[in-house]
Amino acid sequence: MSQPKLQVEGLSVRFPVRSGPFQRRVGEVRAVENVSLEIASGGVFGIVGESGSGKTTLGRAVLGLVDTHAGRISFEGRPLVGPGRARRTADHRRMSLVFQDPFGSLNPRMTARQLIAEPARIAGTVRTRAEARDLVAAKLDLVGLRADMADRHPHEFSGGQRQRIGIARALAGAADFIVLDEPVSALDVSIQAQIVNLLSDLQQTLGLTFLFIAHDIAVVCQFAERIAVMYLGHVVELTDRRRLVENPLHPYTQSLLSAVPIPDPVRERARQLALVKGDIAASSADLSGCVFHPRCPLANERCRVEKPALMDTSDNRAVACHAVEEGRVEMPARESV
Amino acid sequence: MAGAGRPDPDLPEADAAPTLSVRGLSTEFRAGGRVRRVVDDVSFDVKRREILAFVGESGSGKSVTFLSVLRLIADPPGRIVDGSVLFDGEDLMTLDPKGARMRSIRGGGIGFVFQEPMTSLNPVLTIGRQIMESLRLHLDMGRREARARAAGLLSAVGIGDAERRLGAYPHEFSGGMRQRIMIAIAVACSPRLIIADEPTTALDVTTQAQILELLAGTVRDLGASLVLITHNLGIVARYADRINVMYAGRIVESGATDDVFADPRHPYTRALLDCVPRLGETRKLAPIAGQPPDAGTAFAHCPFLPRCARALPVCRTAPPPRLADVAPNHSAACHAAELPE
Amino acid sequence: MDEATTGSRDTAFTPSYLRTAAGILRQRPDIAIGVLVIAVMVVLALFADLIAPYDPNRTSLLDSLMPMSAEHWLGTDSLGRDVLSRLIHGTRVSLQVGVFAVFSAAAVGTFLGLLAGYFRGIPDMIIMRLMDALISVPPIILAIALAAVLGGGVDNVVIALAVALLPTYARVMRSLVLVIRELDYVVSARVAGAGPLRIMIQHIAPNCLPSLVVLMTLNMGHAILAEASLSFLGIGITPPQAAWGAMVSDGYRYMLQDPSLSLIPGVCVIVAVLAFNLAGDGLRDLLDPRLKGQL
C-alpha cells in the first residue's frame, strides 16, 4: 500500500461567533468535526455536501488557509503546518486551488499572462520575462486557450475561459495536488462538460491528484473515484462512486441521491423518492448525538444522544450511522437511482 | 411522489383554450449605441393545468421572454418590439405596463417565483404584510380575513406556527423557507398561471427537491399552469409535461418531455442531453464546442451553426430555420431535422 | 477545445476608456460641467502669470474701490489691486493647497489603512484609535491649531489640512481592505505563496484605486473650502498674497460700498467646490453600475 498523497486525521475546524460591542465570543460554528480521510496519489477524491457541510472549509484547511482546532494533516507522510507560519513550506507549494467563481477568482487588474506566471515567479521557478513567456504559452496551450490571449484582462474572457485561466494558474507552479472547490458550478451546462473533460484529461496525463469538492453529486460521481459525503461538518459515508450510487447506506446519502433529478423522464417516473424533511440546521454545536437525527426517518433514542463513529463496513466503505450498524437500514432496490 | 403535476389525461382541459398564448414576441435592448434582439419571434402556448419547462443556458432569452410577458421590461433600455400575449383571451401587449389592469394581472392572474429569495422579499416588511398586501390588493380582502388566509397559506407551504411567523422578517428565515414564502405569495390569489424562474438554483439539493415538490403539488391543487424556467434537465425530466428549448433568443425545439428526451431533433437539444452527467453512468461527457452566444447577437444563419456537429451545406447559406413540426406535437427549428435520420 | 477560437467578451467594462469618456460626457452634463470647470481652474492656476492682466499685488491707492470697467473687468479692491488678477492667482493657491493636502492625506491615510486592514490585531487597534482621535477634532479647528503651532505659510496649511483629512482615507481604505482580502483572488495569491507585501501591492492596492480616486476628487472640494476658511481667518496666507478666503475677508469691511469684493471670491469658492463634487459624484456613479454589468 503506497503512501497516500494526503492524510487527514481527526480534523476539526471551529469558527468563533462574536457579538456585542466588545466582540465577545458568544458561540462557535463547528465547520469541520473530527474528519479523517486518505487521498491516494494520482486519483480523484470527491467530497459531496450541501451548505453547512464543511466541505469548503475542509478544502481550505487542507491547504493550510485556516486555523484548525484539532487534528493533523499530512502531505506524503510529512506533517503540514497551519497558517500561523508566515512562510508557506515547499509542501504547500505542491498544492493549489481552483475556485468556484470564475469572476472573482482572478484579479481584474492583471492580465492572463501575469496571473498564470505569478505562482511560478513567487516560487522562483521563473526569473526572466522570456521564461515567463514560455511558461505562460505552455500552460495556455495545456488548457486549450490561444497564446495570443495572454495579454487580455479577465473581463475580456467568458466564464469558461476564465476557469481555464484559473486551472492554468493552478498548474503553473510545482503543484501536483489540486483542490477544486466547485470548479464548474458557476458555468453554463454545456461549458461544465468541457471543463470537466479538461480536468479529467489533465489529471490523467499529468498524474495529478485531485480533491474535488462540489454539491452536485452527479458531477462528483462522474469525475471522482472515491467519494466522501459530508453533513454538518461530519463525514457520514465514504466509499467508491459505484457503491455510493447503487447502494447508498446512510439515510442522508439516500435522500441526497433521491433529491437529484436525472435527465431521463422514464427513469424518473420509475424512481422511489426518499425526500428528507426539514431544513439543514444552522450549526451542529447545539446538537447532541448524530447530527442528522432531527431529519432522519430512522432516528431512535440512541441516535439522539450518541454520536455515531465512522466505521468500516464489509465492502470497503465507511458509514457513520447507528441504523446501519444495527442493521435497520433497508438496502434500497437496485434501481434506487 | 414522482410525476406530481402531470395532468390527468381524462380531464377535458387538454383541449380547452390555452391559459397563455404568445405569438411573435420580440424584445430588444439598447446598450452602448447597439441594439440587441434578446428575444426573437418567440411563439408558444401554455395549456391549462400543464407544467411547461423552458430550458436554456445564459443568453438564451428565457428569462427575458417572461419578463416581457409580465411587462416588466424597463423601457429604456429595453423594448418589446412585436408580438401578442394572450392571457385568458386578453392581449397583455395592449395594456399599459404600469396601469392598474396589468398590475392586477401580475400577482392576481399570474403569480411568479423568482430565483433569489434574498432580494425578492422586502427586508423591512414582515412576511405577513407582504402576503397580505397581495391579498388585499387583488382580492380586496379586509385585514382580518387577509390575515387568516395568509396564515393558512404559510401552513400550506410547510411553515409551522404560521400565525406567529406572520410577524417575522425575511432575514429570520433560511433560503429554502424564503422560497416557500415566495410560493405562498405567488399562489395567494389563486392565479391561473405561475411563472417560476430558476426557483431552486440558489438552494441546496435536498431543499430544492422539497420546494419543487411543493410547487408542483400546489399548482396541481390550484388547477393552474406552471412555467418552469430552468437550465437543469433533471428537473425538467421529473416535473415537466412539455418542454421548450431556447437558444439565442429563439425556441429551437418544442414538444412533450418524453418525446424530446427520447428523440431530440435539434442538435443543440441532443448535445445538451449528451453533455449532462447522469447519476449511475460514468461514460465520458461529450461537451459542446464553443460557448453560448451573448444575448441578442444577430445571426445571418442558424445561430447554432458554429457549434453544430451535424451542420449541412444548406445551414451555411440559408437564413435561420423556423420551428416546424418533425413529429406530432413535436417541432424543431433545424434544417436537418426534417430529413429522415 | 473550440472555445479557444471564439474568445468572446463578457459584460462589465468596455475596452477603450477614451471612447467611453466622450460618451459619458455627452450623457451626463453634470459631470461634463464639473470636469470643464476643473480644467479651467487648472489652466488658470498653471498659467496665472500669463493670463492675469495685472500684477495681483500691485497697489494703487488712486484706483482703489473702482467698479467694474473695461480696464478692470471686476474692478479693484481697497488697495487698488485688480480683482480679476487676484482671483486668478487665488486659483493657484486654492488648487495648490487642495492638491497637495489631498494627495498627502491620501498617501499617508491609505498606507495606514492598508496596514490596519491587512494585519488586523494590534496594529489595527493602534492605528484606528489614532485615527479616531484625529477625527474627533473638527477639521478647521485642527488645522487652526496645527497652523498656530507650526507657524503661518501655505506649506503649514497643507500639512494641517492633510492631517485633518487623512483619517477618512485610513478608514475607507481599511474597510476596503477588509473586504478585498477575503476575495477569491487574494486567497488565490496566498495559496500561490505570495507574502503580505506582494498581496498588498499587487492585489489589494490596485483594486482600491477606483474608490480612492473618487474619495480624492470629493475631498478636493472640502480642502478648497477649508483653505478658504483658513485664509478668511487670516491663517496660512501671508498678505499680500492673493487667496479667495482672504479676499472675502478683506472685502468684508466694504460690503455696503462694493459687495462684489466679498461676493465674487465667495462665488468662486462655491463654484470650485461644486465642480469637484459634481465630478466626484459622477465618477462614483460611473464606477458602480458598470461593475454590475449590463442586461
Q: Do C4 and A105 touch (CB under 8 A)?
A: no
Among 1.10.3720.10, 3.30.565.10, 3.40.50.150, 1.10.540.10, what is the CATH number of C25-52+74-291?
1.10.3720.10
* CA closest to A254 among chain B residues: B206
User: What is the Cα–Cα distance from A146 to A142, expressed in whole angstroms?
Assistant: 10
User: Average of pLDDT values for B69-87?
Assistant: 88
**Angle (nearest 5°) at CA B224 between B223 and B227:** 145
pLDDT grade, residue C18 (50/70/90)? low
Q: What is the mean pLDDT of residues B155-160?
A: 86
Asked if C189 and A107 come within 8 Å (Cβ–Cβ), the reply is yes
Distance from CA of A216 to the nearest CA of B (A): 8
| pLDDT over 90 at C154, yes or no | no
Q: C235, C231, C236: which is closest to C249 by C-alpha?
A: C231
Provide the 3-class DSSP secondary structure of residue B25: strand
What is the SS3 assignment for chain A? CCCCCEEEEEEEEEEEEEECCCCEEEEEEEEEEEEEEEECCCCEEEEECCCCCCHHHHHHHHCCCCCCCEEEEEECCEECCCCCCCCCCCCHHHEEEECCCCCCCCCCCCCHHHHHHHHHHHHCCCCCHHHHHHHHHHHHHHCCCCHHHCCCCHHHCCHHHHHHHHHHHHHHCCCCEEEEECCCCCCCHHHHHHHHHHHHHHHHHHCCEEEEEECCHHHHHHHCCEEEEEECCEEEEEEEHHHHHHCCCCHHHHHHHHHCCCCCHHHHHHCCCCCCCCCCCCCCCCCCCCCCHHHCCCCCHHHHHCCCCCEECCCCCEECCHHHHCCCCCCCCCCCC
Neighbors of chain A with 3 or more C-beta pairs under 8 Å: B, C
Task: Report the amino acid identity of residue A1.
Answer: M
Whether the CB-CB separation of C134 and C166 falls below 8 Å is answered with yes
Nearest chain C Cα to A108, which residue? C207
What are C236's three cell numbers? Answer: 496660512
* Cross-chain residue pair C6–B38, CB shorter than 8 Å: no
Residue A195 distance to chain B (closest CA, Å): 9
* pLDDT band per the 50, 70, 90 thresholds, residue A272: confident
Q: Residue A323: which residues within 8 A CB-CB, separation 6 or more? A: A251, A296, A298, A299, A300, A303, A329
**Confidence band for A275, pLDDT divided at 50, 70 and 90:** confident
Residue B208 predicted with pLDDT over 60? yes
Whether ipTM > 0.95 holds is no
Neighbours of chain B (3+ CB pairs under 8 A): A, C
- Average pLDDT of the residues in B105-125: 84
* Residue C30 reports pLDDT greater than 50: yes
C294 neighbourhood in chain B, CB within 8 Å: 29, 31-32
Is the pLDDT score of A148 beyond 70?
yes
pLDDT band of B279, cuts 50, 70, 90: confident
Q: What are the boundaries of each domain within chain C? A: 25-52+74-291
Most confidently modeled range among A16-30, B1-15, B278-292: B278-292
Give mean pLDDT, residues C95-118.
91
Residue A20 at interface with chain C, using a CB cutoff of 8 Å = no
pLDDT (tens digit per residue) in B300-327: 899 999 988 888 888 888 888 888 888 8
- Give the pTM: 0.82
pLDDT on residue A169: 93
Residue C235: its pLDDT value, please? 76
For B30, the grid coordinates are 439598447
Average pLDDT over all residues of chain C? 81
Is 60 exceeded by the pLDDT of residue C225?
yes
Q: Which residue of B has its CA nearest to C5?
A: B290
- Residues A122-133 have pLDDT tens digits of 888 888 999 999
Distance CA B230, CA B56 (A): 7
What is the chain B residue with the closest CA to A266? B258
Q: What is the pLDDT of residues A206-248, one digit of tens each?
A: 999 999 999 889 999 988 999 999 999 999 999 998 889 888 8
* Contact assignment for C14 to B290 by CB distance below 8 Å: no
C-beta neighbour count of B59 within 10 angstroms: 21
- Nearest Cα neighbor of B255 from B20, B47, B9, B30 is B47
pLDDT range class, residue B2, cuts 50, 70, 90: very low
Cell of A77: 507522510
In the predicted model, what is the mean pLDDT of residues C251-270? Answer: 87
Nearest C-alpha of chain A: how many angstroms from B285?
6
Q: How distant is the Cα of C186 from the closest Cα of chain A, in angstroms? A: 8
